[in-house]
């Protein structure tokens, strides 16, 4: 079965074709990052309009890359939520219309389920059950994943998501949008010994997290340093980025270790945009060696939003769960 998947929940238009026998046949992506950069963040109305512009050319490009036509498509999947209402409607409208015209089933996918299952698209894959660390711009959750559709939230952020903390901190440090990856790049050249920031809820007796105080701590530090140095020197900026990244990584790693101990699971899956963070990966990889568990990631190109994870999750939903057809979007939607 070949599933054509659509992702349009935020500022990326993704279209992909997944074959249940042969794997991922093609995936095409357009990112609107440059368009939103001058506004310092995603402008929802501009995002919706751009999805409309991209969806047909990307569909053509995806089918061309796979060497197939619409006649070869057996089902259409799309991100139903959570995300920006108008942006979601573009994918929902297009996918429903296409499926109707082709006389094929349409399947709605939860965006986070797409992220959660994306490591199953890598060469080295986990087996159910596994623990998942889902860290994106909108969510930070630790989940027990026992099968397709069987998800239990064990802990989550009480305020900002990890990616949101990266983005907001980057903004207050004067970095351009998208701030998260930029901050992370600067942190790699920072001195880890110069500043220390708090590790919120590191020792709390649950798996919940909190990241909003960290950004305030950075703001205070930046102001103090600016007053002392008469501005923010380039190396100081890198050192602060490093201190921030160290704090987030420490908390995420500690919570994962705690959750692994609590569940007894031996496999950890890391998904969502922050999963692309190199320092987080290195820290988790070395913890995995020490503590004898295995850690899995999606292919790097599929860490951030993409159509491949939606086509794939759609295919699994068609196989294992009972998709409910209906032309709706759910801008707010809990996975578990």
The residues binding Zn ion (CB under 5 A) are 136, 305
32 binds ligand KG4 (CB under 6 A): no
DSSP assignment of 266-282: -EEEEESGGGG-HHHHH
Distance of closest approach, residue 270 Cβ to ligand KG4, in angstroms: 11
Contacting residue, 31, 79, 140, 277, with ligand KG4 by CB under 6 A:
277
Burial class (CB in 10 A: 0-12, 13-18, 19+), 204: middle
Pick one of 13, 32, 59, 304: the residue that binds ligand KG4 (CB under 6 A): 304
Q: Cβ distance 324 to 89 under 8 Å?
A: no
Compute the CA torsion angle 176, 84, 211, 254 (nearest 10 deg): -110
Strand partners, 6: 15, 78
**How far apart are CB 309 and ligand KG4 at their closest, in Å?**
10
Between CA 186 and CA 238 the distance in angstroms is 5
CA geometry: angle at 41 spanning 39 and 42, to 5°?
A: 105
Note whether 12 and 303 are within 8 A (CB): no
DSSP letter, residue 157: B
**Interface with ligand KG4 in residues 214-253 (CB under 6 A):** none
- Contact stretch for ligand KG4 (CB under 6 A) within 101-109, 119-127, 180-188, 321-329: 180-188
Q: Which of residues 140-169 bind ligand KG4 (CB under 6 A)?
A: 163-164, 166-167
| Cβ 142 vs Cβ 156: under 8 Å | yes
Residue 153, CB-side half-sphere exposure with 13 Å CA sphere: 15
Shorter beta-carbon distance to Zn ion: residue 236 or 306: 306
Enumerate residues 6+ apart whose C-beta is below 8 A from 222. 172, 173, 232, 240
Tell me: does residue 272 bind ligand KG4 (CB under 6 A): yes
138 binds ligand KG4 (CB under 6 A): yes
Yes or no: say if 1 and 315 are a contact pair by the CB < 8 Å rule.
Answer: yes
Q: Taking a C-beta distance cutoff of 8 angstroms, is the pair 308, 25 a contact?
A: no
| Annotated binding-site ranges for substrate | 134-138, 167, 180, 277
| Residue showing the smallest CB distance to ligand KG4 in the complex | 180
Regarding 190 and contact with ligand KG4 (CB under 6 A), the answer is no
- Closest separation between CB of residue 115 and Zn ion, Å? 5
Kindly indicate which of the ranges 30-38, 68-76, 269-277, 326-334 contains the residues binding ligand KG4, using the contact rule CB under 6 A: 269-277
Nearest approach in angstroms of CB 329 to ligand KG4 is 15
Binds 80: which of Zn ion, ligand KG4, none (CB < 5-8 Å by kind): none
Residue 75 vs 276, nearer CB to ligand KG4: 276
- Cα separation of the two ends of the chain: 28
Among 143, 145, 254, 276, binds ligand KG4 (CB under 6 A): 276
Q: Which of 32, 140, 184, 236 binds ligand KG4 (CB under 6 A)?
A: 184
With contacts defined by CB under 6 A, how many residues of the chain interact with ligand KG4? 19
Which residue lies nearer to ligand KG4 by CB, 163 or 314? Answer: 163
* Smallest distance from ligand KG4 to CB 273, Å: 2
* Residue span binding ligand KG4 (CB under 6 A) among the ranges 45-53, 55-63, 130-138, 315-323: 130-138
Helices and strands: H and E segment counts in the chain: 10, 10
Where does residue 201 rank: exposed (0-12), middle (13-18), buried (19+ CB within 10 A)? buried
Applying CB under 6 A, the residues found at the interface with ligand KG4 are 115, 136-138, 163-164, 166-167, 178, 180-181, 184, 272-274, 276-277, 304-305
């Amino acid at each position: 079965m070949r599933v054509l998947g659509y992702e349009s929940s935020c500022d990326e238009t993704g279209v992909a074709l997944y074959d249940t026998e042969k794997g991922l046949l093609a995936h095409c992506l357009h990112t609107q990052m440059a368009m939103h950069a001058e506004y310092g963040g995603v402008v929802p109305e501009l995002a919706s309009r751009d999805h409309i512009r991209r969806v047909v050319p990307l569909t053509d490009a995806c089918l061309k890359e796979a060497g197939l036509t619409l006649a070869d498509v057996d089902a259409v999947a799309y991100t139903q939520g959570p995300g920006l209402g108008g942006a979601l409607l573009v994918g929902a409208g297009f996918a429903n219309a296409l499926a109707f015209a082709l006389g094929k089933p349409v399947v709605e996918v939860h965006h986070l389920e797409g992220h959660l299952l994306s490591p199953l698209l890598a060469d080295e894959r986990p087996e159910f059950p596994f623990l998942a660390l889902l860290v994106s711009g909108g969510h930070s959750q630790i989940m027990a994943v026992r099968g397709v559709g069987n998800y239990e939230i064990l802990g989550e952020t009480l305020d900002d998501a990890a990616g949101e903390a990266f983005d907001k901190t980057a903004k207050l440090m004067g970095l351009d949008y998208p701030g998260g990856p930029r901050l992370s790049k600067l942190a790699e050249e920072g001195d880890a010994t110069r500043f220390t920031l708090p590790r919120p809820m590191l020792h709390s007796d649950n798996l919940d997290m909190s990241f909003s105080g960290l950004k305030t701590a950075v703001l205070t530090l930046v102001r103090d340093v600016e007053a002392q140095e008469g501005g923010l020197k380039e190396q100081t900026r890198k050192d602060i980025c490093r201190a921030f990244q160290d704090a987030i990584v420490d908390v995420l790693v500690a919570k994962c270790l705690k959750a692994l101990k609590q569940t007894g699971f031996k496999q950890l899956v890391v998904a969502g945009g922050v999963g692309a963070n190199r320092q987080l990966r290195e820290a988790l990889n070395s913890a995995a060696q020490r503590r004898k568990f295995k850690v899995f990631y999606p292919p790097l190109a599929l860490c951030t939003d993409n159509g491949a994870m939606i086509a794939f999750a759609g295919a699994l939903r068609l196989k294992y769960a009972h998709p409910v057809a209906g032309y709706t979007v759910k801008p707010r939607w809990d996975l578990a």
